[in-house]
């Protein structure tokens, strides 16, 4: 059984009631909420450790239009945590490997792929598709400042995720004019001062936990459910199995970017968590 609705591109599609039955049964979601998910458009920057669970759960949830940005190829060392890829896709561009896996999971999706690193030169073309939410699945700080700046300028909420060894962080920035990344981290640390996952290591299941939380926040934003992690930084310690929540507000002294050419320089996304 299916119900007609308009997708994120304004095209008439049918909602598979059987596929999304457990969502539709929820009073907070229902058929109307599932239609919102069908009509939504989400950009995921990075198809690595964080991007893997994010993309899988968004696809399963029925997000109508998913964008994937990544310039890397699948490597054997990725498979310890980047569960969207497989041994058979080693050597393939991650955007292609991820797209094919998502379409196996949910063939109704509309997927846009961008096989490139996010940079000020490419931002305009990528963001021309009017995304409702942006998700950070990257592994370097300059890219996060660029995401923050472009989302601020375009009034788009974005979901932050970060992992290192046994610790992960999640927050939501620029939600309903709420605090931004630059409010919490006003100054970037010196280059190479924060090790990547490749340099410092990461517990394989950690990005699964953090990425799932990012997908959860994204779905809440689209559906208008619960309390979004805006103005709160959630910190997870996998060794001690603890969650802490730190509150933060707008920083009146933070730098406000009005031109993306002034944003922090963008580094490679090869170490996409």
- Are 15 and 34 in contact by the 8 Å Cβ rule? The answer is yes
Q: What is the DSSP letter of 165?
A: B
Among the listed residues 5, 151, 180, 197, the single catalytic one is 197
- Are 115 and 71 in contact by the 8 Å Cβ rule? The answer is yes
Active site residue 197: yes
Element (H, E) at 222: helix 206-223
Nearest CA to 243 among 213, 208, 203, 198? Answer: 213
Count of CB atoms situated within 10 Å of the CB of 60: 15
Q: At what angle do helices 206-223 and 30-39 cross, to 10 degrees?
A: 110
Count of CB atoms situated within 10 Å of the CB of 259: 9
Q: Residue 228 — φ and ψ, nearest 5°?
A: -75, 150
Rounded Cα distance, 5 and 202, in Å: 42
Q: Return the half-sphere exposure (C-beta side, CA atoms, 13 A cut-off) of residue 58.
A: 38
- Hey, which residues are catalytic here? 197
């Amino acid at each position: 059984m299916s119900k007609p609705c308009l997708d994120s591109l304004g095209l008439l599609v049918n909602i598979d009631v059987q596929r999304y039955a457990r969502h539709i049964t929820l009073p907070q979601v229902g058929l109307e909420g599932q239609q919102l998910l069908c009509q939504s458009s989400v950009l995921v920057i990075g198809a690595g450790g964080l991007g893997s669970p994010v993309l899988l759960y968004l696809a399963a949830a029925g997000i109508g239009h998913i964008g994937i940005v990544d310039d890397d190829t699948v490597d054997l060392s990725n498979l310890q945590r980047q569960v969207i890829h497989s041994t058979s896709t080693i050597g393939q561009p991650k955007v292609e490997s991820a797209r094919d896996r998502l379409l196996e999971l949910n063939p109704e999706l509309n997927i846009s792929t961008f096989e490139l690193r996010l940079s000020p030169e490419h931002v305009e073309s990528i963001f021309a598709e009017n995304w409702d939410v942006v998700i950070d699945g990257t592994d370097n700080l300059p890219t996060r400042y660029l995401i923050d700046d472009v989302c601020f300028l375009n009034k788009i909420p974005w979901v932050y995720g970060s992992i290192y060894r046994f610790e992960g962080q999640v927050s939501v920035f620029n939600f309903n004019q709420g605090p931004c990344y630059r409010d919490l981290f006003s100054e970037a640390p010196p280059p190479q001062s924060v090790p990547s996952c490749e340099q410092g290591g990461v517990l394989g299941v950690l990005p699964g936990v953090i990425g799932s939380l990012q997908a959860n926040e994204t779905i809440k934003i689209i559906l208008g459910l619960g309390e979004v992690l805006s103005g709160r930084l959630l910190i997870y310690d996998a060794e001690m199995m603890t969650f802490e929540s730190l509150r933060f507000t707008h920083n009146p002294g933070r730098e406000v970017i009005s031109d993306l050419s002034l944003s922090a320089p963008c580094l490679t996304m090869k170490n996409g968590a």
